[in-house]
Chain A
Amino acid sequence: MSAQNEIAIQMKEVSKIFYGKTIANDKISLDIRRGEILALLGENGSGKTTLVNMLSGIYFPDHGEIFVNGKKASIRSPRDAFALGIGMVHQHFKLIDVLTAAENIILGLPGGVTIDRKTLYGQIRDIAAKYGFDLSPEKKIYNMSVSEKQTVEIVKVLYRGADILILDEPTAVLTPQETTKLFAVLRRMKEDNKTVVIITHKLNEVMEVSDRVHILRKGRYVGTVDTKQTSVQELTEKMVGRAISLSIDRPEVADKKLKIDAHGLTCVNEEGVTTLEGVDVQLYGGEILGVAGIAGSGQKELCEAIAGLQPLTAGSIVFHGQDAQGNPKAEDIAGRPPMDRIKRGIAMSFVPEDRLGMGLVAAMDMTDNVMLRSYYRNKGPFVDRQAPRKLAQDLVERLEIVTPGVNVPVRLLSGGNVQKVLLGREIASRPQVLIVAYPVRGLDINSSYTVYSLLNEEKKKGVAVLFVGEDLDVLLQISDRIMVLCGGKLSGVVDAKTASKEQIGLMMTHVGGENAAKEDNGND
């Protein structure tokens, strides 16, 4: 066990300041031991990524010293980091799409003028076999799933002989099964006396895989705990700085009215690939319908199809609303663009995944962004800025949006505040149907819980909510029902009160879930 206590990396009073004012890391001192799995825990914006970027040579510290294996190190580029045996798997993969796995792995390495592919493939297969990966060296990156890409990143780091591996939010894009597999690999690396640092804000994963936890809050180091001697509650308190309740409400709404009844939704993309195939959805007012699935299983297409942004190849979307006299009225809105729907009095809101690209205009201020939703109701050639400004100021107060003012471009706001602006604006338009895609991605715990309670409020008002999420724990807690997508097909709909994570995980990888998975294995 002596190797366990050897210190691999020591950071002394390391600081990083951006543009002379944003303090991302403030005098952080910590150590990383050889042969341990260390979790770096902190909310978004707490400086975890900045800190490890200084170890991997992306950023250079403004103050402080870093010691690697007892020697003072100056890591000025990723190349320097490799030389010290430090390898990093970034949250956004640093892979070249048009190259193969093997080409990505040897990128930038010294060696002969030409590439000996045969030997290279052999070496890659050896590493894969040693740690239990599944990887084909000749496959192009653009043909790979997210989990395969991550495997390439990890093999790339190992191939370079790294004995300190840093993984930035490695599980954010994986299914539960893939996560389990990844953790098994990490444990095998630990047995091999490699040091693994994993950055995360998912507490259950910290508990499951790590030996020790370093906690950061607002750019500062707050402490270290042994995983064995801590609890989720304690970690949360340290991370957020105060006690907060971790359970998500699921209010019951008695009167559920069918709002949208869609059948056989089918989309084909520009390359002729069917991205959504014969999916049926029923959205009820006063209900949150969760959507689960591996990234890229048709979630985007489903949302956009219902919102009227994606042309349908086949299928119908029937909206159950009221006519001017208040009598029930049903009409097929498939293929009708959003503006046409607004004219027909169909109030529908869509909070897209890409908040600053599709949701808001990044360079415009809050008032203008709010105005985008209402300007067309103005009469005459001039727009009314008074009402939107008032609404914007209202949102700032009610949702506790941190901004220097409503006249500041929204791109300068942090992720959580951007989401609050977008969600607040959409809710202010009083929708009957609210579609939200990955609403808490990149948000800290506080902002996430604000979003959950906003969604629950809408649900209580009788709004039908479609919630596309990636964290199954959250989906299981907040949704009433969960529909699972797999490769663009509907894998099934489950009751969120009774379903288990494993069951949904299987449905995400096999249409039909458990039974289909068994059949698949039988056929192998």
Chain B
Amino acid sequence: MDNLVNLLYAAVLAGTPLLFGTLGEILTEKSGNLNLGVEGMMFMGAISGLAGVYFAEMWFGEMTGIICMLIAILASFLCGAFGALIYGFLTITLRANQNVTGLTLTIFGIGFANFFGEIIASASPSKFMTISTGAKAAFANSPLIPGLAALAGEHRWIYWINKLLFSYNLLVYLGIAVALVMAWFLNKTRAGLNLRAVGEDPAAADAAGIPVNRYKYLATVIGGGICGVGGMYISMVTAYGVWVHGCVGGRGWIAVALVIFATWSPSRAIFGALVFGGLSILRMYVPLGIPIEIYDLLPYLATILVLIVTSVRQSKDHNIPKHCGFNYFREER
């Protein structure tokens, strides 16, 4: 049982960056933009979140944890949103091909992050780009709630519940909150309804008086910002506040696949991120004596299975927004 709890705990931690990436991409795709630049935007968020705190500390001295957290979120969100803005300008205003633009954004984002990461690291006295211990603590997983800790010694199940529900870093809870808010937004609000309409059939949305381009821009840019926060999680939590070359390492691509796994539903994305997070750390908790490469291949294998299953059962309600991947021009005949 302890093993299972540890596996689930680790799965949540590994799944959170995927969750952010997936949520960002869901919002983007709901507006009809297939942005394949998730990996790039996550890289941009990873470097900018870390660099934001790094430079803030360099200029203003050490700060309280919560300020560091806010700086990291803001910097990574803005940088991811900036990447998405480039993508949005090219595809929405200039109507460039979405696939090519997205792939280019990925290449750009990876280069952007590694370039600045190396430069900042080599300029620092220690040749490492890292933040203060105090700032690192803000991103650490919280210990057990004090009151519960006492009880946990007596009852093992209290310890498990505590560990599984209350002992993560703040970004995990932020991710779940973003997912729930997004689910509410898409399903219950007028703006959410309009956004879904834009992604399904922009011509119909336009005829209904919805400002199509404004919705596309907003969804794409905010979606990119959310992806950026996911990247920041990797540099701050997974890599403990140290810049690691190529740290995002394909998680952005898994997020793109997760969007399909979650069938474009933010609440199902929570579950999907947990499963994929679990698959990515499985080798450390379930040793089967098989080569590591086979473990590494599991998330991708699961993606292929999901693609097969979703294409076999064609449900209209759980499908890709119909106009996703295509640009819209009102006066096209």
Contacts and interface: CB of A to CB of B under 8 A. Distances in A.
A binds B: yes
Interface of A: 18, 56, 58-59, 77-79, 82, 88, 90, 93-99, 103-104, 106-109, 111-115, 140, 142, 156, 270-271
Contact of A90 (B188, B197, B200, B207): B207
Contacts of B190: 106, 109, 111-115
B100 interface: no
29 contacts: A77-B206, A78-B206, A78-B207, A78-B209, A82-B209, A94-B201, A94-B207, A95-B201, A96-B200, A96-B205, A97-B200, A97-B322, A98-B196, A98-B200, A99-B193, A99-B196, A99-B197, A104-B208, A106-B190, A107-B193, A107-B208, A107-B210, A109-B190, A111-B190, A115-B188, A140-B316, A142-B316, A270-B314, A271-B314
Contacts of A104: 208
A142 B319 CA distance: 13
Nearest to A105: B208
Contact of A96 (B196, B330, B333): B196
B316 A108 contact: no
A408 B279 CA distance: 55
Contact of A113 (B189, B208, B210, B333): B189
B191 interface: yes
Contacts of A59: 331
B22 interface: no
A88 B207 CA distance: 9
A217 B189 CA distance: 46
Nearest to B210: A108
Contacts of B316: 97-98, 140, 142
Interface string B271-292: 0000000000000000000000
Contacts of B204: 93-96, 107
Contacts of A97: 200-201, 316, 322
B205 A107 contact: yes
Interface in B281-333: 314, 316-317, 319, 322, 330-331, 333
Contacts of A140: 316
Contacts of B201: 94-97
Interface residues of B, number: 27
A104 B206 CA distance: 12
B121 interface: no
Contacts of B158: none
B52 to A, nearest CB: 32
A115 B314 CA distance: 29
Interface string B88-114: 000000000000000000000000000
B203 interface: yes
B14 to A, nearest CB: 33
Contacts of B209: 77-79, 82, 107-109
A58 B328 CA distance: 13
Contacts of B188: 114-115
B191 A115 contact: no
A248 to B, nearest CB: 31
A90 B207 CA distance: 9
Given A96-B200, A96-B201, A271-B314, A115 B193 contact: yes
Contacts of A98: 196, 200, 316-317, 319, 322
B130 interface: no
Given A58-B330, A97-B316, A271-B314, 10 more contacts: A58-B331, A78-B206, A95-B204, A96-B200, A97-B200, A97-B201, A97-B322, A108-B208, A111-B190, A270-B314
Nearest to B193: A103
A140 B206 CA distance: 20
B172 to A, nearest CB: 27
B206 A107 contact: no
Contacts of A18: 333
Contacts of B208: 78, 94, 104, 107-108, 156
Contacts of B197: 96, 99, 107-108
**Centre residue among B193, B197, B207, B210 by max chain A CB count within 10 A:** B207
B194 interface: yes
A87 to B, nearest CB: 10
Q: Which of B209, B314, B317: most chain A Cβ within 10 A?
A: B209
A94 B203 CA distance: 7
Contacts of A56: 207
A114 B189 CA distance: 4
Top 9 A-B residue pairs of the complex, sorted by shortest distance between their CB atoms: A94-B204, A79-B209, A108-B208, A108-B210, A107-B208, A108-B209, A94-B207, A96-B200, A78-B209
A139 B98 CA distance: 33
B292 to A, nearest CB: 41
A115 B189 contact: yes
Contacts of A93: 204
Interface string B160-193: 0000000000000000000000000000111101
Contacts of A82: 209
Nearest to B207: A94
A106 B192 CA distance: 12
Contacts of A90: 207
A77 B331 CA distance: 11
Nearest to A107: B208
Nearest to A89: B207
Nearest to B201: A96
Contacts of B205: 96, 107-108
A149 to B, nearest CB: 11
A371 B331 CA distance: 34
Q: Which of A77, A104, A270 has most B Cβ within 10 Å?
A: A77
B309 to A, nearest CB: 16
A113 B207 CA distance: 21
Nearest to A59: B331
Nearest to B185: A113
Q: Which of B190, B191, B194, B205 has the most chain A CB within a 10 Å cutoff?
A: B190
Nearest to B333: A18
A484 B170 CA distance: 67
Nearest to A60: B331
A120 B138 CA distance: 47
B100 to A, nearest CB: 21
Nearest to B331: A59
A79 B205 CA distance: 11
Contacts of B191: 113
A226 to B, nearest CB: 32
A113 B184 CA distance: 11
Interface string B61-102: 000000000000000000000000000000000000000000
Nearest to A270: B314
Contacts of A103: 193
A351 to B, nearest CB: 24
Interface in B203-221: 203-211
B324 to A, nearest CB: 13
Contacts of A156: 208
Nearest to B199: A96
A295 B205 CA distance: 25
**Residue from A58, A59, A90, A107 whose CB has the most chain B CB atoms within 10 Å:** A107
Interface string B134-157: 000000000000000000000000
B185 to A, nearest CB: 9
Contacts of B317: 98
A86 to B, nearest CB: 11
Contacts of B211: 77, 79
Given A78-B209, A96-B205, A98-B200, A108 B333 contact: no
